[in-house]
Amino acid sequence: MSSYADVPAESAPVGATLRLAIGRLARRLKQVYAADALTFAETSVLSRLEREGPSTPTVLAAAEHVRPQAMGATLTALEQRGLIQRRDDPGDGRRVLVGLTDAGRQALDARHKAVTELIDRALASGFTPAECQALAAAIPLLDRLAERL
């Protein structure tokens, strides 16, 4: 494991500034998500299930960087609302797989559409086309950064 002393000098200011900007963006998005029936954590789990397909609670907890107990509470809330379903793993009867229901897919689509429209309005009202292109160009880098954290 590397220490902060191993970070090149030119990366340190970028890291600090990026942390602040991403923190502000994350807090704002959490406020948007808090106004809806789906929490940020629930939306994240539904999104992962949509992208990756059915999974075990243990794998989901590890992927979402939460404790299994926290994932259990999230999955229980989603199941009670009919957004996910649990079923026995056909390959290993000792395991349970969690997957999206049609209602879960619809809720996730509605959530994504609402947040995307909010972001689109913000971009349209305060960013130039060149700035939008610069943000678009940074997306793969941000995805890669997220994978490395």
For the cut 50, the answer to whether the pLDDT of residue 1 exceeds it is: no
The single residue listed with the structure tokens 């689109």 is: 120
pLDDT at 147: 82
Average pLDDT over residues 46-52: 95
Domain annotation covers residue 87: yes
Alpha helices per DSSP H over the chain: 11-34, 40-52, 57-64, 68-80, 102-126, 129-148
Domain annotation covers residue 95: yes
Domain annotation covers residue 118: yes
- Residues near 42 by beta carbon (within 8 Å), at least 6 away in sequence: 74, 77, 78, 83
What percent of the chain shows pLDDT beyond 90? 64
Domain annotation covers residue 30: no
Q: Which domain holds residue 62?
A: 37-148
Domain annotation covers residue 25: no
Average pLDDT over residues 106-131: 92
We report the CATH number of the domain holding residue 63 as 1.10.10.10
Domain annotation covers residue 15: no
Domain annotation covers residue 77: yes
Count of structural domains, the chain: 1
Domain annotation covers residue 5: no
pLDDT at 94: 86
pLDDT at 30: 79
Q: What's the pLDDT tens digit per position in 52-99?
A: 999 999 999 999 999 999 999 999 999 999 999 999 988 888 899 999
Average pLDDT over residues 35-63: 91
Answer whether 0.85 is exceeded by the pTM: no
Q: Which of 142, 140, 143, 122 is nearest to 132 (CA)?
A: 122
Weakest mean pLDDT among 22-31, 64-73, 122-131: 22-31
Q: For residues 46 and 83, is the Cβ–Cβ distance under 8 A?
A: yes
- 84-89/92-100 β-pairing: antiparallel
Q: How far is CA 35 from the centre of its chain?
A: 17
Band (32; pLDDT cuts 50, 70, 90)? confident
Element (DSSP H or E) covering residue 88? strand 84-89
pLDDT at 104: 96
- Residues near 38 by beta carbon (within 8 Å), at least 6 away in sequence: 46, 107, 108, 111
Amino acid at site 76:
T
pLDDT at 106: 94
